[in-house]
Structure 1
Amino acid sequence: MPREVDVAIVGGGLVGAAVAHGLAGTPLSVALIEPAPPAAGAADWDERCIAVNQASYRILQALGVWPELSRVSAPIVSTHISERGRFGVARFTAAEAGLEALGYNVPIRRIGEVLWQALVRAGRSQLLAPASLSGIGLTETHAVLSLHDGRRLRARLVVAADGMHSPLRGWLGIAAQTRDYAQSAIVTAVRTARPHRGCAYERFTPDGPIALLPKPWAAEENVCSLVWTTPRSGLESRMQCADAEFLAAAQDAFGERLGRFTELGRRQAFPLSRVMAAELSAPRVVFVGNAAQSLHPVAAQGFNLGLRDAATLCELLAVSAGDAGAPELLRRYVELRAPDRSRTAEFTDGLVRLFSNRVPGLRGLRHLGLLALDLAPPLREAVMWQNLGFGGYTPSAARSTR
């Protein structure tokens, strides 16, 4: 274990590992601290996936890991947004954006594996795993990290990628605003009678959205990831009911656009809340990914926002001279990330609150809003490019089209 590094990354999940890999081509010394590195696992047809938008696809391409991920990804070539009980529909296509795909649905497990394997192959980062922190101290020139086994590590900059309930955030006294949606996301997979043809569906219901996305599995076009937002009061019954009952309820909420649901995968449930750190930096520390913000999964923005955090930070560190934790570098990171973060967080939160509001008259306004989104070119373009990841500052890695 090194006694001192330029950059210490706390948390080796998807965003933390992306930061470490993004710094592999720089002269900076890097240590990555992770309690449980990803274990290789066999692919399952119903494993959990995540939607990677166009900006994130380019970042993963710039990191050199996309060729491997492309083998297990399903392209999203169009989206279909609707509200149950209304005729208004908004559609977006890759063709109108001049792209091959709006994004890709990729197994979360595989992204973690590929990033970690790339770090091991590069051999540039010190991988301290399994290892975890017990505290942090600050001096004018360094952060001093204490590990549970008694070792200490000095770093010019600490990258906090330690999750929604970031211990580093707590130790540093950084507050976080939390909004509990009183909902959980049930994540599973379904087989459908009709092929999805690369279309991702999001259908809003009074209880929350239900989404079906093309799922990568053995070149089938009849397998979809299903994410069903469920009020906490009804979660247990949906998790415990028989498969046939669950499929019937999901079919009723979603409709018949993909025909009948014929098979159900394993069900997993995740509580939903929005957690926004009050600050994106502290002396010698920056926050990225879920440690900076954790969002509702509607429109699949959270991971993509975190990956832009990682790419922007790597871009700044790659051209920095000398001190990786210099105050001016931290200020610049906050300047670049704050607008994108605020815009994306308010966009997702606004969707959840608007479409779950049962105030009389709002249903008609939502219907008109979906129609306007489908028919008004300026509004369509603004929403489309926001969802593609280009609504704010675009890091250099996401500008690349190679």
Structure 2
Amino acid sequence: MNETYKLEEEGEYIPYCIGTIRHDGVVSTSNRLIRPIELSANEYKALLYAMAAANQTEKNNGSGEITEQTYIYLYKDNLGELLGLEKRNSVNVAIDRIYKELSSRVAHFIIEESSDAPRKKTKKVHSVVPIIRELRWEDDLKNAIQLRFTSEVLPYFTQLAGGNFTTYQLKHLFALDSVASMSLYTFFIKNEYKYQSHESYTIDLSLDELKDLIDNKKKYDRWVDFKRYVLDKIIKEINQYTDLDLAYEVIKKGRPIVGIRFKLKDRHSNHQKVALKSAEKVYLDVPFEDNGVVKSLGAKFDTAVRAWYIYKGDTNYKEFSRWFKKEGCLTESQANMVVNDSLFQMDFAEVGISLEDFRRTMKHKLKNDAVFVQSIRDRLKGIFNANII
């Protein structure tokens, strides 16, 4: 459970939240956040713990709760458990190191801005910004790290309801021992939605792209050393501790190896794959906090219509019953897309009604009035470029 409190200090009230994040919890981050730079594995996990606490607090208390002034408390016992540290001295040493090093770390983002070039509407800008606004570690108690995120970083893991983000299960990330493994794992999870309709898929990366991704640009110039000491260890770790089934083959230009073709497969049996391939999609109405749960049960995310789905022949079909939407209606995320469509607003908004009231009323109608939804079926197909009812 996560809660937001007010801490009275010197006559002022300072907002703070306490995250008690379970090992099977989830964390969501914007896809524009590449990764924190030069972090140790424990620093990265501490940041994920804090981001998960911010995610949960935002969902439980509404938007706008987490700001640059909000302290997030990472309690030593919880953090030690998530880091896999049992002995008290080990926990203290790890947290002391996190405290000393984390305050100077920065994050890497890709931002799209308007382009001055006549043939390009937008340009991609790489940006590096500080992660932590303030970090506190009380000498006497030493029971919790207290941190505040910078305003530049916060939007990338809070207020994500309408954005382009990916949800990760903490148990998979925390099971990995290296930042390199975590970086490659999160890269594949972000990209798997592009290949959602495939039983397996491949992703090609040049050696330079791969080394940039895992921050191994200057180490192991020889392929045989990079393969033995880095890549094979990462593949083994991801396959052993996460939900991915990963293999690879080399890409050559003549004799030199210039890249890697990664092969990813789902873990369904062949019998299940055949059955699901011909089955009808069932879209789910999934709250933000349940994203990790439905994903672990086998749901896929349809990026075109912004909704999770399963097939009628799914072996876990009954377990999804609490997320089934009303027959013939839209999910919450689908309804949000429709009411924010400018052409839809022009055609259906009424004179004298505020845009906020229109959105609220129309969203309720889209989620509950199957007759109305059926009457605008062609309009919905135009918005989503797909049949969704």
Settle same-fold status: TM greater than 0.5: no
Structure number, greater radius of gyration: 2
**With structure 1 as the length reference, what TM-score do the two structures score?**
0.21
Q: Answer 1 or 2: higher relative contact order, Cα 8 Å, separation at least 6.
A: 1
The structure richer in helix per residue is 2
**With structure 2 as the length reference, what TM-score do the two structures score?**
0.22
